[in-house]
Amino acid sequence: MTEPTLYLIQSDFASTEHVLKQLQQIYSPSDAIVLMGDSALHAQSDLLKDKSPIFMLENDAEVLPNQALDAIQIIDYAKFSDVVLSFKRCISLK
């Protein structure tokens, strides 16, 4: 069994669907996801429905309607640091 992995999704809007499809191939139930920047606009993607936990920085969440955030944990930068430090493996997907 591999160590849990934190995936930082930092892709631009046009590339995010492709990145989420790649994530389908490597994600395991013990992993976590942070949607960052333009990728936050894909928060309601069907490709994320069975994934948990999913985090989003509060600055990125400001542009989304509240119902889009039901399954997302909104975090500030201090909590983001805690989340990153709680994982031994962190992979950025762009």
- Phi, psi dihedrals of residue 84, rounded to the nearest 5°: -60, -45
Q: What is the reported pTM?
A: 0.93
Q: What is the mean pLDDT of residues 16-43?
A: 97
Look at domain 5-93 and name its CATH class. Answer: alpha beta
**pLDDT on residue 66:** 79
Instruction: Answer yes or no: is pLDDT of 1 > 70.
Output: no
| Mean pLDDT across 35-58 | 95
